[in-house]
Structure 1
Amino acid sequence: MIRKIGVLGISLLCFAAIISCEKDFSDIGTNVVNNTKFETGEILLDVEINPINIENVQADNINASISEYWLGVYNNPNAKKIEASIISQVGYVSELKNTAGIDTILTLEKVILKLPYPATSTGTTDGVTSFKLDSILGNTSVGTSVVVKQNNTYLNILNPSDPSKKNTFFSDSDYEDIQDLNEVSNFTFTPKTTHTYYDYDRVDRINPSNTYKDTIRVTKIVSNDTIAIPFLAIPLDVNKMKSLFWDKFESTEFSSKDEFNNYFRGLIIESTGNDGVLVPFNLASSPAPSLDFYYTKSIMNGTTVTDTINKKYSFPLSGIKNSHYKMTPASSPAPANNFVIQGTAGSLAEVTIIDNTKLQELRSNNWLINDALLTFYVNQTISTEANLLPQQLFLYQNKDNGTGGTSPTQLSDAYNNPSTYGGLLQKTDDDAPEKYTFRITDYISKLLNGEEDFTTDPLVLKVYNPTDNPVINNTLKTSIKTYNWNPRSVILLDGDESANGAKRAVLKISYSKEK
């Protein structure tokens, strides 16, 4: 349905030099037309919303540069619950030793999986650096369960069925595990800025009946100072890791990278539960996440230990990495005439703004399109906290590919006018989340002008992901990938005027027309 808001004004533009006037109304954003009287106006087009459940998304780092991997549980009652896990190969390290001659004994003491938290320094006082944790979602009042498992699924960079193509792992891929590797079966974590160290009891090798406290830290250089940063420390079973790693250091399994990758196929860092926190770990950060083997080098005089040196072997989490998302339906679905947009394997929405009948009607008007804004309003009763919502949504088009399927395709405005394309969360004066608006003037203008590549196929609204950018490394990519690792969600009002009134989803077109 079209509703005319009314004529906003009449412009008469005259020039001394008379030139021929072409009735070409396809120029984008044109506000000056020579030797012609024009009236300007606005119309509102009601839009149709069709929510779509996302089954899975691409989750590997084979086909995209991904650094952020979420771990934990996020139970937002108005969106799908997410149980996010990480699957990663372990980097190969050469020339490892578990023996050191007749007068030296190497003893494995502790194995720790270390994951630095996303944290920002807030200043240093009396030599102590304070931090704030970044982008953590969920309930910090409960511990989040994590189990580290030995992966038995071979992570191949090439497609086994067609080695000429790269492989792809989706967010619901199945991974076979061999055994749990946790030191304790009920391990949970609660992120805190004070977790800048991990203490454990270490055997005094000179006096084996005694133990002493040893401290593990993760450090980095900031302004020429070495500071300890917050990190998650997951202790692993020493006996299992000794059998898997330590005892194999000088064997065939560690003789080359290929042998190692086939022998030890990586870790599954699995998080499960009904509630908890979701943490975006950067697996490409510096300092990097690592699997560390702490051992003692004991200097012997016969059977007596005369000296000890504490050392470690460190294996980075590198190679192929994937995310796994277990999604559970929302406990409180969106109310009538509302819809949910959620990242990861959440939900998106098809948006129909113009059908073919309406297109022919609009074309017959011979309008010059000055502006076209597609706006989606936030349900401010449910989605109340702006910092928890997606800070940006993205709009593209599902084009009919002629073979019974669709091709996700960039709208021309996304790359022709990226600075004005929009999609950012807009707030009210009191910082309440209000709406998301897209300027699609180029698309509407060319659609009404009848340009061949511009169709009425539905648009698609989703949570923005960096891989949605049409220009990456100075290269234009008009196809849309299914990657999404943003777990945030928002409830929006649909296009029903009787239910949502002035805050319904709507397309506003501003035009000029010859009188």
Structure 2
Amino acid sequence: MIRRIGVLGISLLCLATITSCEKDFSEVGTNVINNDKFETGEILLDVKITPIDTKNVQADNINATISDYWLGVYNNPNAEKIEASIISQLGYLSGLKNKENVTDGDTIFNLDKVILKIPYQATSKGTTNGITTFKLDSVLGNPNIATSIQVFQNETYLNTLNPSDPSKRNTFFSDSEYLGNTILNEDGVYEMKPKATDTTFIFDRIDRSSSLTNTTTYKYTVKAENSQKLKVPFLAIPLDLAKMKTLFWDKFENGEFASKEAFDNYFRGLKIMATGNDGSLVPLNLAASPTPSVDFYYTKSVVDGTTVKDTIQKEYSFPLAGVRNSIYKMTPAANPAPANNFVIQGTAGRIAEVEILDETKVQELKSNNWLINDASLTFYINQTINNDANVIPQQLFLYQNKKNEAGGISPTQLTDAYVDPASFSGVLKKTDDNTPEKYTFRITDYISKLLSSEENTTTDPLVLKVYNPTDAPVVNNVLTTSVKSYNWNPRAVTLLDGNETTNGTKRAVLKISYSKEK
């Protein structure tokens, strides 16, 4: 039978043969054993790759904490085009007013502007002469090409509980459809070209300080400040004043705003939809500060007859809060993967099934009576297609699709992912000149258990995907062996498959290092 040597195995051997233990065995790093009674070797085993179109992934924030909501269009010619959109409820505000009685005159409220404001993810480049400059983080595609953004009123109720079984939490996938065709943009379509210099938004505001009938305007500046009071870059989409007045302003003191439940049922959120053939894709952290919001800018004027006694500029701010979801509309790649290559892409892109050992091969290997020292699975990158390490996934992930008792599939963590996560890896490796080269997974524990016929270890196919934070098996010291289907990483990479004739030494391969008695 196949045996696995580790710390426990060595200890048992030492107890059995104390006088010869020290001279017979030497454990080096990865459990490789070197001595005069054993010989070592390695074998390379072919693997079979089957690309799979993901179709959809979990995308709501009901069951996971999501760090990035992508917005825009990313047309990578060697991967599926992504049109990424966002669905979000708005937070509830109580005690809203659009009129007020005072003792020394009438108070007139005038709605001036409504803006959807979402801060970009950005990093400070430093401060010079009191001005802080930024660079936008992780923008993919070409920000100089405008991406069309339309904001719609969502008319689908975003329930946190499963309507068919209220005892369970709901799930919204990335291809879920939402009702609602009412466009809320000021001009129908907003052309997004994200820039790090977008730290202000300026609009013409009516000067009501002297007369309510005045039509003279002045430039009013909107900004977004972080906790350090620094102006940060943000996306500002003007919304249609008349529509937002009807939907919100005119109903502030009506039943639709009487409670959070009433508001959530009345205004069910926004659909922020991106469309186009090309453009850019930007990550948006909707849970970060400053808070993304729909802001109502209004003027509050106290008048006596026709005389304006006092004017105050104020705003109501509805945060993007509650249930959120991402929509990923995927379109086939302009350039399909070359023969004997395959693409791995995040979001609702592509994964791959990897078959490494069937039952016949397992039995053949068992008969060798080897001690398994190391096992690794390596995938080389097509460097002609992917020569920029910054735009491809920085890490891939490997798990197993196990057949369950119900006849379905249970995505399951490999033991190596939590027994020795640092060695398990999957992290992008680069050459000395920073060219992306390969991804390697060490699956020694899995192979050892498989060849030792350990219970619950099967030859069911492995699955290769773009790594997502939800793939971590241990969070806050709690182990979860099931693998979630979330993925909000839009990057893609083209890999070489297991064809030796075409790909030679850079083919996808399983390498097993072993020791055997002489």
Aligned to 2:9: none
8 Å CA contact 2:31, 2:374 repeated in 1: no
Unaligned runs of 5+ in 1: 1-12
- The equivalent of 1:5 in structure 2 is none
Equivalent residue in structure 1 for 2:218, among 212, 221, 224? 212
Other-structure match for 2:492 = 489
Task: Find the aligned partners of 1:391 and 1:144 in 2 and give their Cα distance.
Answer: 26
Alignment-derived partner of residue 128 in structure 1: 131
Does residue 504 (structure 1) correspond to residue 510 (structure 2)? The answer is no
Tell me the secondary structure at the aligned position of residue 388 of structure 1. Answer: coil
One of 116, 120, 128 as aligned partner of 1:117: 120
Question: What is the SS of the residue equivalent to 1:220?
Answer: coil
- Residue 383 (structure 1) shift: 1.1
Counterpart selection for 1:473 from 456, 471, 476: 476
SS of the residue 2:242 aligns to: helix
Q: CA deviation at 1:453?
A: 1.2
**Cα displacement string for residues 391-432 of structure 1 (whole angstroms, at most 9, x for unaligned residues):** 000000011114332110000000000111110000000000
Q: 2:173 — aligned with what?
A: 170
1:261-287 superposed Cα distances (whole Å, 9 cap, x missing partner): 000000000000101110110000111
Of 419, 427, 431, which aligns to 1:428? 431
Taking only aligned residues, the RMSD between alpha carbons, in angstroms, comes to: 2.0
Aligned pair 1:409/2:412, yes or no?
yes
Scaled by the length of structure 1, the TM-score of the pair is 0.94
1:311 to 309, 314, 319: 314
Q: Distance in 1 between matches of 2:281 and 2:159?
A: 28
Higher deviation after alignment, 87-96 or 450-459: 450-459
Query: Which moved further from structure 2: 208-217 or 152-161?
Result: 208-217
* 1:339-361 CA distance string (max 9 Å, x none): 00000000000000111111000
For 1:241-256, list aligned pairs within 5 A: 241-256=244-259
| 1:235 alignment partner, one of 238, 246, 267 | 238
> Structure 1 counterpart of 2:313, which letter?
N
1:199 to partner: Cα distance: 0.5
Aligned positions of 1:95-494 closer than 5 A: 95-101=95-101, 103-205=106-208, 206-207=210-211, 208-222=214-228, 226-494=229-497
In structure 2, the residue matched to 1:6 is none
What is the deviation of 1:302? 1.1
Q: Taking structure 2 as the reference length, what is the TM-score of the superposition?
A: 0.93
* Letter paired with 1:249: F
Deviation, structure 1 residue 186: 2.8
Which letter maps to 2:273?
E
Q: List per-residue Cα deviations over 1:197-219 (Å, max 9, x = no partner).
A: 00000111124131111000001
| Equivalent position amino acid for 2:174 in 1 | S
Q: Distance in 2 between matches of 1:28 and 1:128?
A: 52
- Counterpart CA distance in 1 for 2:337 and 2:190 is 34
CA distance in 2, matches of 1:136, 1:20: 57
Q: What count of residue pairs does the alignment treat as equivalent? A: 496
Deviations 1:433-482 (A, max 9, x none): 00000000000011111101111111000000000000112211100110
Q: C-alpha displacement at 1:29, in angstroms?
A: 4.3
For the residues of structure 2 that align with 1:28 and 1:356, how far apart are their CA atoms? 30
Q: Which amino acid aligns with 1:487?
A: P
1:30 aligns with 2:36: no
Contact conserved, 2:33 with 2:373, CA < 8 A, in 1?
Answer: no
Amino acid at match of 2:19: I
Match of 1:42 in 2: 42
1:251/1:374 CA distance change after superposition, 3 Å: same
Residue by residue, what CA displacement relative to the aligned partner does 1:111-135 show, whole Å, maximum 9, x if unpaired?
0000001101110000110101001
Is the Cα contact below 8 Å between 2:32 and 2:374 reproduced in 1? Answer: no
Indicate if the aligned counterparts of 1:191 and 1:232 stay in contact, CA closer than 8 A: yes
TM-superposition CA deviations, 1:126-168 (whole Å, max 9, x none): 0110101001101112111100000000000000000000000
Distance 2:481 2:509 in 1: 25
The CA distance in 2 between the partners of 1:294 and 1:168, in whole Å, is 35
Q: Which residue of 2 aligns with 1:93?
A: 93
Q: Secondary structure of 2:50's match?
A: strand
**Alignment match, 1:8:** none
The secondary structure found in structure 2 opposite 1:188 is strand
Is this contact kept in 2: 1:28–1:370, CA < 8 A?
Answer: no
In the TM superposition, what is the alpha-carbon distance from 1:86 to its structure 2 partner? 0.3
Task: List per-residue Cα deviations over 1:329-376 (Å, max 9, x = no partner).
Answer: 101010000000000000000000111111000000111111111000
Q: Does the 8 Å contact 1:73/1:274 carry over to 2? A: yes
Query: 2 CA distance for matches of 1:29 and 1:230?
Result: 48
The yes-or-no answer on 1:18 pairing with 2:19 is: yes
CA contact (8 A) 1:89 1:266 kept: yes
**Could you tell me which amino acid in structure 1 is paired with residue 31 of structure 2?**
T
3-state SS of 2:182 partner: strand
CA contact (8 A) 1:29 1:369 kept: no
Contact 1:28 1:441 in 2 (8 A): no
SS in 2 for 1:269: strand
CA spacing shift, 1:14–1:59, aligned 2, 3 Å: closer
Q: What is the distance in 1 between the residues matched to 2:32 and 2:344?
A: 36
Aligned partner of 2:217: which letter? Answer: T
Distance 2:390 2:33 in 1: 41
CA distance in 2, matches of 1:409, 1:513: 31
Given that 1:378 and 1:492 are in contact with CA atoms closer than 8 Å, whether structure 2 keeps it comes out as yes
CA distance in 2, matches of 1:271, 1:91: 23
Q: Quick one: structure 1 residues 20 and 311, their matched pair in 2 at CA, closer, same or farther if it must change by over 3 Å?
A: closer
**Worse overlay, 262-271 or 99-108:** 99-108
User: Contact conserved, 1:28 with 1:442, CA < 8 A, in 2?
Assistant: no
Counterpart-to-counterpart distance in 2, 1:266 and 1:288: 16
Structure 1 residue runs of 4 or more that deviate by more than 3 Å after TM superposition: 13-21, 27-34
Alignment-mate amino acid for residue 74 of structure 1:
Y
Q: What percentage of residue pairs aligned between the two structures are identical?
A: 67
Partner Cα separation in structure 2 for residue 458 and residue 422 of structure 1: 19
Range with bigger deviation, 84-93 or 138-147: 138-147
State how far apart, in whole Å, the 2-side matches of 1:137 and 1:71 are: 11
Q: Which amino acid aligns with 1:220?
A: N
Deviation of the 1:187 alpha carbon? 1.4
CA distance in 2, matches of 1:460, 1:28: 28
SS in 2 for 1:495: coil
